[in-house]
């Protein structure tokens, strides 16, 4: 039995003051929803403010990225030790990081190994581009991303990993995939790749989310699928009623 999981990726949105307002309002409503693991991922600058407001609310806090090194001469970067001071979770390998900041599977994997070292729960993103989707390369691409991004960690740690299947063509476009198609990728591509890395039992225990234009209108279609355990939500996570309704829909 996998506990449903819903995370909000705020991307580069909200100042510290705006974060305080949104976190306060969200937490008032989300704290009463049980049976789903809830995580908010505001920008680095707002993590401290969010952390103070979320104390005791039963809502987790995540960073949107981190460096893999513990410390050193990496101007502008944030280390896993720093993330760990405020967060339990970290998003790794989001497609925007892969596309705009040249993050490869190898870099994502280094960050994952670092998450293991520093006891962070990673949300690892995989997903094909529109061009790959149209060329029918989804399975090949997602399988490779999963195998290469998630290699070389222990099966015990692997159970904590959350994978987000996010077709790039569905992110921020308002053009979500559909439940059956997304479930097929999770069931036939992601879980088999996880099984090869960690064995069947662990592969079945790992939560796999769908992400890409999830709204309160389509969330149940994804959550109703047997292999989809929740959602990574971008745009709709900034709208209180939308994110609350999506979170509520994830409760089994």
- Figure out which of the listed residues 166, 221, 229, 242 binds ligand PEP, where binding follows CB under 6 A: 166
Segment near ligand PEP (CB under 6 A); pick from 14-22, 41-49, 147-155, 211-219: 211-219
- Looking at 94, 96, 221, 242, which residue is catalytic? 94
Segment near ligand PEP (CB under 6 A); pick from 21-29, 31-39, 187-195, 228-236: 228-236
Task: Tell me if residue 94 is catalytic.
Answer: yes
Segment near ligand PEP (CB under 6 A); pick from 28-36, 55-63, 191-199, 210-218: 210-218
| Per-residue tokens: 139 | 């399975």
Q: Is 232 in the site for ligand PEP (CB under 6 A)?
A: yes
Task: Tell me if residue 67 is catalytic.
Answer: no
- Figure out which of the listed residues 42, 43, 122, 212 binds ligand PEP, where binding follows CB under 6 A: 212
Nearer residue to ligand PEP within complex by CB, 198 or 227 = 227
Q: Which residues are catalytic?
A: 94, 166
Kindly list the residues in this chain that would bind ligand PEP in the complex (CB under 6 A).
9, 11, 166, 171-172, 211-214, 232-236
């Amino acid at each position: 039995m996998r506990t449903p999981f819903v995370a909000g990726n705020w991307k580069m949105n909200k100042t510290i003051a705006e974060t305080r307002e949104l976190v306060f309002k969200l937490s008032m409503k989300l704290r009463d929803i049980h049976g789903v693991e809830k995580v908010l991922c505001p920008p680095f600058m707002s993590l401290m403010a969010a952390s103070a407001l979320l104390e005791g609310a039963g809502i987790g806090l995540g960073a949107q990225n981190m460096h893999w090194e513990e410390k050193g001469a990496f101007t502008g970067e944030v280390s896993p030790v720093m993330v760990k001071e405020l967060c339990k979770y970290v998003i790794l390998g989001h497609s925007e990081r892969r596309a705009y900041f040249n993050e490869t599977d190898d870099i994502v994997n280094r960050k994952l190994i670092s998450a293991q070292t520093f006891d962070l729960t990673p949300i690892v993103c995989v997903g094909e581009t529109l061009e790959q989707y149209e060329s029918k390369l989804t399975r090949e691409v997602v399988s490779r991303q999963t195998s290469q991004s998630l290699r070389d960690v222990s099966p015990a740690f692997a159970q904590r990993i959350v994978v987000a299947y996010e077709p790039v063509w569905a992110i921020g476009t308002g053009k979500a995939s559909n439940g059956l198609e997304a479930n097929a990728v999770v069931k036939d591509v992601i879980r088999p790749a996880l099984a090869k890395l960690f064995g069947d039992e662990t592969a079945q225990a790992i939560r796999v989310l769908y992400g890409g234009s999830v709204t309160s209108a389509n969330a149940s279609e994804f959550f109703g699928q047997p292999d989809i355990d929740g959602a990574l939500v971008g745009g709709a996570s900034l709208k209180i009623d939308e994110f609350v309704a999506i979170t509520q829909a994830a409760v089994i």
